[in-house]
Amino acid sequence: MAIRKSSTKPRKTSGAAASKPRAARARATTAGTAPGSRRAGAATSGLQANNRAENTMNRILLVDLGERELKERQKLRARRQVLKTILTTADTSGGLSAGQLEELAGIESTLGSDIVADPFYRKVAATYAQRAWEDLAASGDDATTAFAAKAAKANGQRKNTDYVHKYGLIGTQRVPDNLLDQLQRAEREIVGICGLLQLDGVTDADRRGFVQKVSAAQGEYRESRELFDAAFDLLSRKYPVTLNSQVKARLIDEDVFGCIRPGGDPQERQPIEERVPNVASTVCVLSGRNLAAVVRKLAADGISFNDPWLASRIENVYEMQSGVVGGAPPSSFDIALPDLEEATDSEIVRENLDAAQAIYFAYQLEEARMPQVVERIVELFRAGLLPLSYGKTGDYLYSYYKKSSERITEGERRDLYMRAFGAPGGDPSMNQPNREFSDLWLRFVSSVSSFGRQLTVDRMFRSQIPLSVSQEQVRKAARDLAASLSRNCYGIAYQFSKELKTLIIEYRDLLSDQEIRTSFGARDMWQVMDQVNANYLGGTRNSHRYRTQAKCGAIIIAWLALNHQRLTNRLGEVISTNALTNPQLRGSDRPMEDPTDWDLLQACEQLIAVGGIGDQRVEDFSQPVESPTITSKPIEMPQIARDVLDSAGISLPSF
């Protein structure tokens, strides 16, 4: 939602109240129940009093943390609905297991509280505070009053609530009646650490080494603490918007209303006029991720905290990072989340697309000869030509050699690639190749790229593509591709895809092993592959191209699987224009599992670049053509029809 910024100066409080100390303003606000207000009734009086208290000083809303919280709660609600459905249909579904019952209870407990549910923030806060998250969450209840907050501040103590946020409102910004001017020292540091980690894409709290990444981000923050403080002081009050606008833009969960007063279970709030905050509340939005990007850029440019033009530099870099162009606020970014209640399409089966993603990923690695490289390493090991010590590497190679008959063979893989993507190398007498895949793939990639280019003025003028591409053209190209992949990934493809995923992980671990890399004098797995390809398999392969195509192709197919219901809906956008034009908070933490529209565009652009596809070909393929005939599932031709065709000299592949 775009909000016009009227001035670059800090917002001032109008009237005599601006000259009063903060405590005096708070007392004046508390005393706002004048006799004339009784005429409007008790409810209206309460709303006006709350509004005056809210307008005394706007709370700082950390919009990046708030959006992460929204996404996490959406996932929990969807999972809760699934578990409840299984529970209510116990007669046919078998009911919930003990583990699922425990999971449902945990979800109910999390959603029944305003305390942050995002595991990323929980782990960061617990690591920073050196305390268990359960202790921090227990102290995050807003039973702490304004008096307790002021007492803690007077005694120089840090409240435990400083480590906890609710929907993007961190500790001090939830004090009911007396707000502090800025985020406190601990709050700033946690927000800065979260921003730096998000910049680096380190948001998986269960990832090995996550705590080390938190410590590294903390070190970077403390090294540039003065720059961070200057950025917080300048930007934390710069962009006031209504809280309701952020809820409508799907940046903040709607349960934020009333999270300060009355608090408690979000589903049992008191009437809206008694809530703090409420729909009339104004907040100052701040993105920790964009602020961290600003400080990192200034530090990289050698700007010190005592630079005389520091304020201007911070504003310029922040507006570049957050997309504040022509007065748009930094919180106007909107990502359309996929519908969690997915409809069933007769021509597109999501499980088949999931299988196609793994098969395509494996196909690109096959083109880079990763399986062949591993096979040759096993042969060298069997011949005694690898200087390996006794350990897990040798054990894996021995096990791999002994279980060769149990694995999917290269011929079976080639048959699968032929059936799914029309790739050469398979047996055409046993498989029906997907001949239209290459054309449909290029049409979809070109359509998305052209659609994205026309939304950016600079790229539109630089581009050689003069014709526009509509949402419906992109929808059609996406639907044709998804239906083709779905039809050609029936049968054993899903089971094979599971095995291929396991093999890819095993291959990665083996080729990254220290002993293997040392044996070939390589720094990483790709150099190992280059060495083996060059010395034993007839020449090197363009590994950069194939691994880029593997990742980008996996993102594209994952997007088709997640959004296949959008492809058949004649209403609404198939690609969110806001997600493509506004740089704030765009991109998924796990693009190959949960890609956004922005991830899709970037994947298509990378495929065009790495494949050397010129603008003229992109223009040609982005234009619509008649859809191929694609059935909802493979149809076996009757034997009598086959006999007739055979007698006419026309042979068909077997099924």
Q: What is the DSSP string of 409-469?
A: PHHHHHHHHHHHH--TTS-TTT----TTHHHHHHHHHHHHHHHHHTTSHHHHHH-S--S--
Sorted by where each begins, the domain ranges of the chain are: 60-69+113-322, 347-434+489-541, 435-487+542-649
Q: Which residue has the higher pLDDT, 558 or 347?
A: 558
Q: pLDDT over 70 for what percent of the chain?
A: 73
The one-letter amino acid at 639: Q
Question: For residue 633, with 0-12 CB atoms within 10 Å meaning exposed, 13-18 middle and 19 or more buried, which class applies?
Answer: exposed
Q: Would you state the pLDDT for residue 604?
A: 93
Cβ–Cβ under 8 Å, residues 342 and 474: no
Cβ–Cβ under 8 Å, residues 166 and 253: no
Cβ–Cβ under 8 Å, residues 329 and 239: yes
pLDDT confidence bin for 22, thresholds 50/70/90: very low
- Summarize the confidence of residues 240-258 as an average pLDDT: 89
- Summarize the confidence of residues 337-364 as an average pLDDT: 71
Q: Are strands 282-286 and 240-242 parallel, antiparallel or unpaired?
A: antiparallel
Residue 224's nearest CA partner among 299, 156, 166, 289 is 299
Q: Would you state the pLDDT for residue 24?
A: 37
- Summarize the confidence of residues 88-111 as an average pLDDT: 86
Q: How far is 164 from 116, CA to CA, in rounded Å?
A: 7
Q: How far is 604 from 322, CA to CA, in rounded Å?
A: 23
Q: How far is 570 from 7, CA to CA, in rounded Å?
A: 41
pLDDT at 145 over 90: no
pLDDT confidence bin for 269, thresholds 50/70/90: confident
**156-179 per-position pLDDT tens digit:** 444 455 688 899 998 888 876 545
Query: Does the global pTM surpass 0.85?
Result: no
Q: Would you state the pLDDT for residue 463?
A: 53
pLDDT at 582 over 70: no
pLDDT confidence bin for 504, thresholds 50/70/90: very high
DSSP 202: -
